[in-house]
Amino acid sequence: MSTAPNALQLAGIGMTSARARQRMIDRLVSRGISDEAVLMVMAAVPRHIFVDEALSHRAYDDTTLPIGYGQTLSNSYTVARMTSLVKECSALESVLEIGSGSGYQTSVLAHLAKQVWSVERIAELQDRARSRCRLLSLSNVRFRVADGHWGWAEKGPYDAIVCTAAPDAVPSALLDQLSPEGGVLVIPVGDQQQQRLMRYRRYGDDIQSEDVEEAFFVPLVNTQVPL
């Protein structure tokens, strides 16, 4: 985003209007998203400001969108699904997001959680995500440039961790940073051929896992060292 959108652009008109957003919500409902709070937040957050202005007319389509640096903004169903999967088993006091990307998922979480911590390896993407959150007056998000494989230990444990890029195997640091009282991690696991969306819950030292559905995410890039 080169310049900050004005009030009219922020509210949206035509293909980016509240009506376009409502059509997106109707589609989410028809695909089985039923959490009222998640639907309300997604009806309110202007998704079109999270992509380049040239793509904003496609922001409410049922599709992933490029955000630069070879990364993508997840489609609306995926964001709604991941958010619902953590919300249905947590009060979302403290949430860690791995993969800030455009900041859209971050913003949706910030409306539902008390505090959001978000980690991203590409500083330029995170800078834009931060400005968008500021534009929306979201004051409960903190960002950090780092390799998400290591989580953000100092701020944990977390009630919920949402990982929006796929590792080959679940990073043990993320399980370690879950609250032992039912902390929940939602994460795609696998390679670019086959991925599963998984949900893990931690009770003390016991980890329960649930295979939710097929997933399609960009890889969680392995940088080997904490950034």
Q: Which residues bind ligand SAH (CB under 6 A)?
A: 67, 71-74, 98-99, 101-102, 104-105, 119-122, 125, 147-149, 164-165, 218, 220-221, 223
Identify which of residues 102 and 179 has a Cβ nearer to ligand SAH in the complex.
102
Q: Tell me if residue 34 is catalytic.
A: no
C-beta of 126: minimal distance to ligand SAH in Å?
A: 8
CB of 92 to ligand SAH, least distance (A): 16
* Shortest distance (Å) from residue 164 CB to ligand SAH: 4
219 cis-preceded (ω within 30 degrees of 0)? no
Closer Cβ to ligand SAH, 71 or 208, answer by number: 71
Q: Are 104 and 125 in contact (CB under 8 A)?
A: no
Q: Residue 6 or 224: which CB sits closer to ligand SAH?
A: 224
Which of 74, 76, 90, 102 is catalytic? The answer is 74
Shortest Å distance, C-beta 166 to ligand SAH: 9
Alpha carbon distance 41, 191 (integer Å): 31
Residues 6+ apart with CB under 8 A from 38: 80, 83, 84, 87, 108, 112
Residues noted as catalytic = 74
